[in-house]
Amino acid sequence: MIHLLLASVDDVLDTGDRLLGRTDGAGASALVDAADRAAAASKRAESDRRRTLAGRLALRLLTCAVQGRPVSDAPSLRVDRTCDRCGAPHGRPRLAELSASTSSSGRLVLAAVAGDAARVGVDVEEYPERLWPGFDDYALHPAERQTVPSGRAGLVRRVQTWTAKEALLKSVGVGLRSEPAGFRVATTASARVTTAGGRDGWRPVVQSDDPGLARAWTTGVDAGARAAASVAAAEPTAIRTWRMSGHGPDTVSGALLRAHGSDDGAEQPVSAPAQV
Q: How far is CA 136 from CA 140, 145, 148, 183, in A?
A: 5, 7, 10, 13
pLDDT at 199: 53
pLDDT at 89: 76
Nearest residue to 74 (alpha-carbon basis) of 16, 3, 22 = 16
Between the two ends of the chain, the Cα-to-Cα distance in Å is: 30
Q: Can you give the pTM of this predicted structure? A: 0.91
- Which helix (DSSP H) or strand (DSSP E) does residue 65 occupy? helix 46-67
Q: Does domain 1-119+240-276 have CATH number 3.30.300.30?
A: no
pLDDT at 176: 63
Count of residues making up the chain: 276
pLDDT at 162: 96
Q: Does domain 120-233 have CATH number 3.40.50.720?
A: no
pLDDT at 84: 75
Crossing angle of helices 46-67 and 9-20, rounded to 10°: 60
Residue ranges of the domains in the chain?
A: 1-119+240-276, 120-233
Mean pLDDT of residues grouped by 10 in the chain (276 residues)?
A: 97 96 94 96 96 98 96 95 79 91 97 96 97 95 94 96 96 80 91 56 91 91 96 94 90 89 55 58
pLDDT at 37: 96
pLDDT at 171: 94
Contacts of 92 (CB under 8 A, 6+ apart): 81, 100, 101, 170, 173, 175
Task: Identify the three-state secondary structure at position 3.
Answer: strand
pLDDT at 268: 56
Nearest residue to 163 (alpha-carbon basis) of 215, 119, 121 = 121
